[in-house]
Amino acid sequence: MIPYGRHEVTPEDIENVIKVLSLDFLTQGPQVPRFEQIVGDYCGAQNAIAVNSATSALHIACLALGLGPGDHLWTSPITFVASANCALYCGAEVNFVDIDPRTYNLCPNALEHKLIAAEKEGRLPKIVVPVHMCGQPCDMQAIQTLGHKYGFKIIEDASHAIGGKYQREPVGNGRYSDITVFSFHPVKIITTGEGGMALTNDIELANRMTLLRSHGITRDPALMTHAPDGAWYYQQIDLGFNYRLTDIQAALGVSQMTRLDEYVSRRHALAKRYDALLADLPLIRPWQHPAGHSAFHLYVIRIQGKRIRRTYAEVFQMLRAQGVGVNLHYIPVHTQPYYRRLGFKLGDFPQAEQYYAEAMSLPLYVTITEAEQDKVVRLLTEALTS
């Protein structure tokens, strides 16, 4: 099976991880701050907090921004469930903003309309979570302008987008948001096995997220309610979690970061190759907004039933049966049973639902060969035109 995504671990990565295994720290040692420094510097962010997943990063980002019961968080319905679940962890309410049918990102016009209506009802969101779908940056300038006008905070879910650029600057630099979150799950751009990171230029948010990542415990006398009882002393000053990344994982992350730019260029080259090979087929290829430079986590095509003789499900099945690991990113979150129980229903976000009926992720990862790509194209051509 040619999978839709796959990590690359080199002999050098393995050596770097093995080295850590014979050192003094497997967790809470020097590798985590080193990884944070490298990612923070790469992105041009002042603070970076490594955690054990992007889901954890989203959770502590929401808490650091003060999200709680009675508050609202809005995100895109075309995302992994974690972008919405983080609000529910905090006891807040979730709602969605429909997507732009060209970029598949949260649509700023839809956002503005929803904000106008929400203001009248006194239900404005405290946080909006734009998701850089497939690695393509959202229209952050427009979203930030609305944030200033309507008073919401912004968490970029950049799980797909490390190494991408917006307005020629790295995603994660915090110019258009309060916090940016990355994922290092193996299918993403770089990996630590499981892992994530939250980046921010606000030192107070950084301090709060650092506390929340590790039980709400501090050893910093400046943060304590009274002077330390002694050298052994620590204080729990908030209710936090164990969301720490290990030194073993961080060592892998440090090693992977050396290839980030190469990875993104390779993904662009592969996407360009798909673009050329698929040009004459009855499908929609990924459209790229000129303001962004995607990290190309995913190559999503849209298949339109009226242009072919098979159904979407038939094409999907044919490809899977012949060893092509196509996938669907994502099932609209509001249509999941858990969210339907919260009151969402089919028809709520028509662009997202139309996208769901047509979208197919083709295999895209740095080690895919041209022969494998050709096989994907040949079988897809057969499925769409025979």
Size of the site for ligand PLP (CB under 6 A): 14
Three-state SS string over 12-77 comes to: HHHHHHHHHHCCCCCECCCHHHHHHHHHHHHHCCCEEEEECCHHHHHHHHHHHCCCCCCCEEEECC
Applying CB under 6 A, which part among 49-57, 140-148, 164-172, 249-257 lies near ligand PLP?
Answer: 49-57
At a CB cut-off of 8 Å and minimum separation 6, what does 304 contact?
282, 283, 284, 358
Q: Which is nearer to ligand PLP, 129 or 315 (CB)?
A: 129
Q: For the CA atoms of 16, 19, 25, 29, what is the dihedral angle to 10 degrees?
A: -30
Please count the other Cβ atoms lying within 10 Å of the Cβ belonging to residue 242: 11
Smallest distance, ligand PLP to C-beta of residue 185, A: 4
Is the distance from CB of 359 to CB of 312 less than 8 angstroms? no
Q: Binding of ligand PLP at residue 55 (CB under 6 A)?
A: yes
For tokens 């962004």, name the residue. Answer: 292
Q: Residues 6 or more apart from 277 whose CB is under 8 A from it?
A: 373, 374, 377
Strands 165-166 and 292-293: antiparallel
Determine if 154 is a binding residue for ligand PLP (CB under 6 A).
no
Among 31, 75, 83, 249, binds ligand PLP (CB under 6 A): 83
Is residue 380 a contact point for ligand PLP (CB under 6 A)? no
160 binds ligand PLP (CB under 6 A): yes
Q: In angstroms, what is the minimal distance from the CB of 184 to ligand PLP?
A: 7
The single residue among 4, 80, 316, 356 that binds ligand PLP, judged by CB under 6 A, is 80
54 binds ligand PLP (CB under 6 A): yes
Among 196, 286, 292, 332, binds ligand PLP (CB under 6 A): 196
Q: Work out how close the CB of 32 gets to ligand PLP at its nearest, in angstroms, rounded to a whole number.
A: 16
**Considering only residues 114, 185, 208, 302, which one is a binding residue for ligand PLP as defined by CB under 6 A?**
185
Residue among 278 and 363 whose Cβ is closer to ligand PLP: 363
Let me know: does 299 contact 2? Beta carbons within 8 Å.
no
Which of 13, 98, 139, 157 binds ligand PLP (CB under 6 A)? It is 157
Candidates 49, 131, 154, 324; binder of ligand PLP (CB under 6 A) is 131
Contact between 53 and ligand PLP per CB under 6 A: yes
Contacts to ligand PLP from residues 238-257, by CB under 6 A? none
Q: What DSSP state is assigned to residue 221?
A: G
Comparison of 83 and 180: residue with beta carbon closer to ligand PLP: 83
> Which range in 75-83, 99-107, 119-127, 301-309 contacts ligand PLP by CB under 6 A?
75-83
Nearer to ligand PLP, 92 or 131 (CB): 131
Q: How far is the CB of 210 from ligand PLP (least distance, A)?
A: 18
CB 83 within 8 A of CB 129: yes
Under 8 Å between Cβ of 360 and 383? no
DSSP string across 224-242: SSS--SSTT--EE-S---B
Q: Binding of ligand PLP at residue 173 (CB under 6 A)? A: no
Q: What are phi and psi of 116, to 5 degrees?
A: -60, -45
Residue 159 interacts with ligand PLP (CB under 6 A): yes or no: yes
Helices (H), 107-246: 108-121, 140-150, 203-213
79 lines the binding site for ligand PLP (CB under 6 A) = yes
Structure tokens at 378: 């040949």
Q: Quick one: which H or E segment has residue 360?
A: strand 359-362
The nearest distance, CB 233 to ligand PLP, in angstroms, is: 33
Q: Which is nearer to ligand PLP, 185 or 266 (CB)?
A: 185
Omega of the bond leading into 355 within 30 degrees of 0 (cis): no
The footprint of ligand PLP (CB under 6 A) covers 53-55, 79-80, 82-83, 131, 157, 159-160, 183, 185, 196
